[in-house]
Structure 1
Amino acid sequence: PVPWLSGGELVMTIGLGLPAEPDGRRAYVERLAAAGCAALAFALHEAMEEVPDDLLDAADACGLPVLEVLTSFISVTEAVARWHADERVRGERRVVAAQEAMARAALAHGTAGILRTLAEHAAGEALLLGPHGEHKHAVPARERPWHARAAEAAAASGGGRSAGVLDDGIEAVQVHSLGFSGAATGWLAVRTASPLDWHVRMLTSHAACLLAIELLGLRVGRSRMHAQRGALLAAVLDGRLPAARLGELCSVAAAPYEVVVARPGVSLEAAVEALEEVTEAGDEETALVCVRPEGTVFVLPEDPGLPGEQAGGRLGEQQAGGRLGGQAGGRLGVRLCARLGVAGGGCRAAGLEEVPAAVRHAAALVARGGGDGYAHVDDMEPQALLRDAFVPEAARRFSTAVLRPLREHEARHGGDLVGTLRAYLEAGDNAETAARRLGVH
């Protein structure tokens, strides 16, 4: 019967046609075992009275169970059919119960609840990826080796909507796109033991729908929130609202800020989606976005890897070995403009009151340049270019020599001339701004 086996079958026979010689019976058993036969069953007292010992020995050697059937073959077949039918019903009931549990979890706990319930009912692990395969949420939370495989499969799709299974015979990883139309808004991956059960496929599809609805609702909510916050930012930029009032009316990240102006043509929805992808968890909610005629304006928390001395630039305070012009690669504006696929300009703002001026500087960079990348004021202005031309050690000696008279004057007469000079330079040589920061006339 080997040509008609696909693996996993119980072969039942009365022994008719069983080879008469031991070598033939041994080869018969070996062929069944190689074909994946689950067990061999004999109905005795028809064509044979007992199972030959050599056949049993061959079965033991192959690890193939041998059974004796004490009832009719049709009774066995009917019992197996009933079991499969009942198992299908039981599976459907499990699916319905799991779907109801996921729906309740979605209402109570959102995305995290859906993933946790899916992993529990699928007896596996679940992973939520962003539209480009970036890690968003996982159950369990710790990093797993299969996460990278799922991310590669999602990224390989090119953003299109699809579903597939990665099965190596030990574990099965199902990767399912999220969204109802257009490009995928994210990816759901589920890892279970191989082979992948049909009810896990159904649960994954149901969870993908719930997650797509959840993400759509979150995205709409975020767009509305940023539209309201953007209206306040526009009022500040137009001079209709004091900058301090903006900080009182909405939650804003702590200063300093990286102000980015992306080339005109970026919608609010695209800006919010890109902002979510490039910022750390929680930072997107404290950023500001506003679509303006000069471009789409972002007010972002400054990258902590760029401290104020380096991001703003002070010739006399350079650290050894630091060439500040290369710091642009660490700025959020670089990743943001790359994600949007447009050119952009950036400028540092030490506080909300400096945001309007920073927007003007960044917008001027966008209008002036014809490239497709991101340019920051600190990297483009002549002072910054001159600063980068100095060797750090030589700049330190220069600073010591130039500042020595001020420090000696302070030592003799008191005062804070060095601190005053620092405030003046950080204010962009603006005496009024420096005086306001120092609290003097």
Structure 2
Amino acid sequence: MRLRSLLAMPRLRLEVVTGDDELDRTIRWVVTTDLLDPGRYLRGQELVLTGLVWRTGPDDSETFVRALADAGVSALAAWDLTLGAIPGDLVDACRRHRLPLFKVPEDVAFATVTEEVVQQLSSARAADLTAVLDRHRRLVEGTGLDAVLDLVGHCHVLTPAGRVVAGPPPPDPAALAAAFLTAPRLPHHVPDLGMSVFPVAAGAASRVADWFIASEGDFGDWPPERRALTSELAAIVAIEKARLDAAAHPDREVVAAAAAGDAARLRYAGLAGDPYVAVAASGRGSPRPEELRTVLAEVLPRPRAVGVLDDEVIALVPAAGHDLAAEAQAALNLLAPGLAGGGIAVGVSDVATAPDLRAAVEEARYARRLAATRPSPVCVVRHDELATHVLLLASVPDDVRHMFKVRLLDPLHEYDRVHGADLVRTLETWLQVSGSWTRCAERLHLHVNSVRYRIQRVQDLTGRDLSRLEDRVDFFLALRLMDGPEEGPAGGGEP
């Protein structure tokens, strides 16, 4: 409540002695004291009542009033029954320290003042609590965060990409987002913008996947009540974020249908006919798959579906004639400072319609695997960077690829398991050096005769002749299938 509200209480009949221009100050509580220096018992914004028992001379008024002003007291109400008046030195001290002073009528007990003010404060707080609960109810019912921010005031909710989720646009959203991502610890004061940033998840999520609150002022100067209020606001924002994340769960079924080439389910989902681009992404360390799903949903332009499939994030984005790979790279580069030693690898397919979305998803997955081999914290590889045989493999049905790989490589895997012969690794290295015995031996730190022996065992176990180009190509493709999406496309970022 405000000081001027005291003048409207008929039982009190308080009179302003000095401080008419300070009556908009807020009262938080009422304290009665007869100590000369009560500062250590005060927390600020109190209405102090005193009978001046502490006063033994004019100098005491300066000591008493200075202690109240230093403690942040809102006003003083006094009366001296012995003098029958308020001493002039007390009035002068209140003027010097800009502390409003009220005269309490002789027939009004301090207990009456306390009772009236406390009752008024309780009513005001009940009204505030009702408003908070009402706005929180409206939030739960889906009206959004703006209603809550209206009550708190001077706050904004943003994503790490700088998009304003709720509240009016702050002066520089991009700069606030950059400060949130790069701050050594949170909360963090941004002096250039005069604002402080707070995480919503408070360490429970990667910064690139979190939202944050930007509030005016330096949080280091805030009273405990305002810090507590911001923490409560963060909890409410987290609830809204979780609600929106849960609403995106059906997207997993859509991307699963695309990956499986299920035309019926795609038609049911409304994807028939329109052209789409498939995007595949994985994280290295941070962010985790569900967090990366949130990131892609934020940075991709109007994605139709974004879901986690086998620890890899798959997105389907309507083809709009723009360079989706370049846009994704630019958006993710802005988030890179918040990866904290992690990384993001992304693959982008060519344009495809519903009947060919399975091949597009495979193409994006292969491109993602290529991106994961590169050292950059954020790397996006487009479909045209893939070799021709990769595109061919992406279009082959899953069961055919599986049988082709099993028929050629399973005998070698079994032999390696029993004998520890390392035939698969030797074969792959030998093909990489175009069948050079010497170079293969050097790479594997073996004698040339050992390499010859192992390759002969490969031929004996598979019935293939590695002097023939056709058989070499078959083994090359089978080894590439072993590294492909069928074996775990997200994989943790390894090629």
TM-score of the two chains, using structure 1 as the length reference:
0.55
- Asked whether the equivalents of residues 257 and 349 of structure 1 are also in contact (C-alpha less than 8 Å), the reply is yes
Tell me the SS of whatever aligns to 2:349: strand
Q: How far, CA to CA, are the matches of 2:298 and 2:139 in structure 1?
A: 25
Q: How far, CA to CA, are the matches of 1:62 and 1:263 in structure 2?
A: 63
Which residue does 2:57 correspond to in 1?
A: 19
- Asked whether the equivalents of residues 178 and 186 of structure 1 are also in contact (C-alpha less than 8 Å), the reply is yes
**Counterpart of 2:79 in structure 1: which amino acid?**
A
Q: Does 2:105 match 1:70?
A: yes
Q: Does 2:268 match 1:249?
A: yes
The 1:226–1:332 alpha-carbon spacing in structure 2 relative to 1, beyond 3 Å, is: farther
Which of 158, 164, 181 is matched with 1:129 structurally?
158
Q: What's the CA shift for 1:14?
A: 3.5
The 1:61–1:258 alpha-carbon spacing in structure 2 relative to 1, beyond 3 Å, is: same
Q: How far, CA to CA, are the matches of 1:84 and 1:150 in structure 2?
A: 43
Residues 287-302 of structure 1: pairs in structure 2 closer than 5 A:
287=305, 289=307, 291=309, 297-302=314-319
Q: Does 2:70 match 1:43?
A: no
Which residue does 2:403 correspond to in 1?
A: none
Which of 138, 141, 149 is matched with 1:119 structurally?
149
Q: What's the CA shift for 1:44?
A: 3.6
Which residue does 2:117 correspond to in 1?
A: 83
Q: How far, CA to CA, are the matches of 2:298 and 2:224 in structure 1?
A: 33
- Asked whether the equivalents of residues 260 and 298 of structure 1 are also in contact (C-alpha less than 8 Å), the reply is yes
The 1:106–1:125 alpha-carbon spacing in structure 2 relative to 1, beyond 3 Å, is: farther
Residues 415-430 of structure 1: pairs in structure 2 closer than 5 A:
none
Tell me the SS of whatever aligns to 1:349: strand
Which residue does 2:136 correspond to in 1?
A: 102
Residues 337-348 of structure 1: pairs in structure 2 closer than 5 A:
341-348=343-350
Which of 224, 235, 241 is matched with 2:260 structurally?
235
Which of 66, 74, 91 is matched with 1:31 structurally?
66
Q: What's the CA shift for 1:29?
A: 7.2
Q: Give unmatched runs, 5+ long, in structure 2.
A: 1-34, 389-495
- Asked whether the equivalents of residues 127 and 190 of structure 1 are also in contact (C-alpha less than 8 Å), the reply is yes
Q: What's the CA shift for 1:99?
A: 1.1
The 1:155–1:250 alpha-carbon spacing in structure 2 relative to 1, beyond 3 Å, is: farther
Q: What's the CA shift for 1:229?
A: 0.9
Q: Does 2:244 match 1:218?
A: yes
Q: How far, CA to CA, are the matches of 1:289 and 1:301 in structure 2?
A: 15
Tell me the SS of whatever aligns to 1:143: coil
Tell me the SS of whatever aligns to 2:279: strand
Q: What's the CA shift for 1:228?
A: 1.9
Which of 119, 138, 146 is matched with 2:166 structurally?
138
Aligned length: 332
The 1:179–1:77 alpha-carbon spacing in structure 2 relative to 1, beyond 3 Å, is: same
Q: What's the CA shift for 1:233?
A: 0.6
Residues 10-409 of structure 1: pairs in structure 2 closer than 5 A:
10=48, 12-14=50-52, 17-19=55-57, 24=59, 27-28=62-63, 31-32=66-67, 34-35=69-70, 36-46=72-82, 48=83, 50-51=85-86, 53=88, 56-57=91-92, 59-71=94-106, 75-77=109-111, 79-80=113-114, 83-84=117-118, 86-88=120-122, 90-107=124-141, 110=142, 113-122=143-152, 124-130=153-159, 132=160, 134-140=162-168, 142-144=169-171, 152=179, 156=183, 175=198, 177-178=200-201, 186-187=210-211, 189=213, 198=225, 201=228, 205=232, 208-209=234-235, 211-223=237-249, 225-236=250-261, 241=263, 248-252=267-271, 257-262=276-281, 269-270=290-291, 272-280=293-301, 283-284=302-303, 286-287=304-305, 289=307, 291=309, 297-302=314-319, 305-306=322-323, 329-331=326-328, 335=332, 341-349=343-351, 351-352=353-354, 355-366=357-368, 370-372=373-375, 373-379=379-385
Which residue does 1:394 correspond to in 2?
A: none
Deviates more, 1:181-190 or 1:355-364: 181-190
Tell me the SS of whatever aligns to 1:343: strand
- Asked whether the equivalents of residues 13 and 43 of structure 1 are also in contact (C-alpha less than 8 Å), the reply is yes
Which residue does 2:6 correspond to in 1?
A: none
Q: What's the CA shift for 1:172?
A: 9.2
Q: CA RMSD in A?
A: 5.1
Tell me the SS of whatever aligns to 1:346: strand
**Counterpart of 2:293 in structure 1: which amino acid?**
V
Summarize deviations over 1:315-348 as a string: whole Å, max 9, x none. xxxxxxxxxxxxx543459839977834343332
Summarize deviations over 1:233-264 as a string: whole Å, max 9, x none. 1232xxx64xxx67643344996644334469
Q: How far, CA to CA, are the matches of 1:165 and 1:366 in structure 2?
A: 35
Tell me the SS of whatever aligns to 2:106: coil
Q: How far, CA to CA, are the matches of 1:3 and 1:202 in structure 2?
A: 31
Q: What's the CA shift for 1:125?
A: 4.6
**Counterpart of 1:345 in structure 2: which amino acid?**
G
**Counterpart of 1:371 in structure 2: which amino acid?**
R
- Asked whether the equivalents of residues 13 and 42 of structure 1 are also in contact (C-alpha less than 8 Å), the reply is yes
Q: How far, CA to CA, are the matches of 1:67 and 1:199 in structure 2?
A: 29
- Asked whether the equivalents of residues 175 and 188 of structure 1 are also in contact (C-alpha less than 8 Å), the reply is yes
Q: How far, CA to CA, are the matches of 2:110 and 2:99 in structure 1?
A: 19
The 1:177–1:13 alpha-carbon spacing in structure 2 relative to 1, beyond 3 Å, is: same
Which residue does 1:4 correspond to in 2?
A: 38
**Counterpart of 1:138 in structure 2: which amino acid?**
A
Q: How far, CA to CA, are the matches of 1:202 and 1:72 in structure 2?
A: 41
The 1:56–1:360 alpha-carbon spacing in structure 2 relative to 1, beyond 3 Å, is: closer
Summarize deviations over 1:340-381 as a string: whole Å, max 9, x none. 834343332264555455445444445567325332243567
- Asked whether the equivalents of residues 59 and 66 of structure 1 are also in contact (C-alpha less than 8 Å), the reply is yes
Q: How far, CA to CA, are the matches of 2:49 and 2:281 in structure 1?
A: 70
- Asked whether the equivalents of residues 40 and 66 of structure 1 are also in contact (C-alpha less than 8 Å), the reply is yes
Q: How far, CA to CA, are the matches of 1:16 and 1:263 in structure 2?
A: 72
Q: How far, CA to CA, are the matches of 2:272 and 2:292 in structure 1?
A: 18
TM-score of the two chains, using structure 2 as the length reference:
0.50
